[in-house]
Amino acid sequence: MRKRAGAIARRGRMAGSVLAAARHRLQRPQRQGLIGAGLTVGLTLLVAGGVADQGWAFSAMALLVAGLAVGGLHLIFPHGPLFALGVANGLAVYICLYVVLGRAAFPLAMDWARPVGFLLPVAAFVAACWLRRADLLRLAEATSAPDLEHLPRFARWLGFTALIGLVSMATPINRLPELEQTAMLLLAMAVIAGISAAAVSDVVRLLVDIAAILQTVSKRLAHLAVPMATYVSIFALLGVVFGCCYRIADGLSRTPLFYALGQPSRLDFSDALHFSIVTLSTVGYGDIQPSDDGVRLLAAIQMLLGQLLLLFGFGEIMRGSVTGEAASAAAAAEKKPAATPPRREVAGE
Backbone φ and ψ of 113, nearest 5°: -80, -25
pLDDT (0 to 100) of residue 2: 55
Longest dimension (CA), the chain: 105
Q: In this predicted structure, what is the pLDDT of residue 242?
A: 95
Which is nearest to 40 in space by CA: 62, 77, 71, 79? Answer: 71
Spell out the residues 6+ positions from residue 257 whose beta carbon is closer than 8 angstroms to its own: 246, 249, 250, 267, 290, 291, 292, 294, 295
Residue 346's SS3 state is coil
pLDDT of residue 299: 94
CA 187 remoteness from chain centre: 32
Backbone φ, ψ for residue 199 (5° rounding):
-95, 20
| Number of other CB atoms surrounding residue 304 within 10 Å | 10
pLDDT score for 89: 81
At 319, the amino acid letter reads: R
Residue ranges per domain, the chain? 34-198, 225-320
What region does 191 belong to: left with phi over 0, alpha with psi -120 to 50, or beta? alpha
The residue type of 285 is Y
Give the H or E element holding residue 290.
strand 288-290
d(CA 47, CA 226): 31
DSSP per residue, 245-279? HHHHHHHHSSS--EEETTEEE---HHHHHHHHHHH
Provide the sign of the torsion angle of the four alpha carbons 326, 331, 333, 338, taken in this order. Answer: positive
pLDDT confidence of residue 48: 76
Question: pTM value?
Answer: 0.65
Looking at CATH, the fold of the domain delimited by 225-320 is given as Helix Hairpins (1.10.287)
CB 47 within 8 A of CB 95: yes
User: Does residue 235 contact residue 280 with C-beta atoms inside 8 Å?
Assistant: yes
Q: Please tell me the total number of residues recorded for the chain in this structure.
A: 349
Strand partners, 289: 259
**Distance in angstroms between the alpha carbons of the first and the last residue of the chain:** 48
* DSSP per-residue letters across 59-93: HHHHHHHHHHHHHHHHHH----HHHHHHHHHHHHH
Exposure class string for 138-149: b at 16+ Cβ within 10 A, else e = ebbeebeebeee
Contact by Cβ (8 Å): 212, 145: yes
Give per-10-residue mean pLDDT for the chain (349 aa).
57 55 49 61 77 75 77 68 74 86 89 89 88 80 64 80 90 91 94 90 80 72 76 92 94 92 90 93 88 93 92 77 59 54 50
The answer to whether the beta carbons of residues 154 and 202 sit under 8 Å apart is yes
Of 325, 311, 314, 316, the closest CA to residue 217 belongs to 325
pLDDT of the residue at 63: 78
> In this structure, which amino acid lies at residue 180?
E
Cα(56)–Cα(65) distance, integer angstroms: 14
The three-class DSSP label of residue 6 is helix
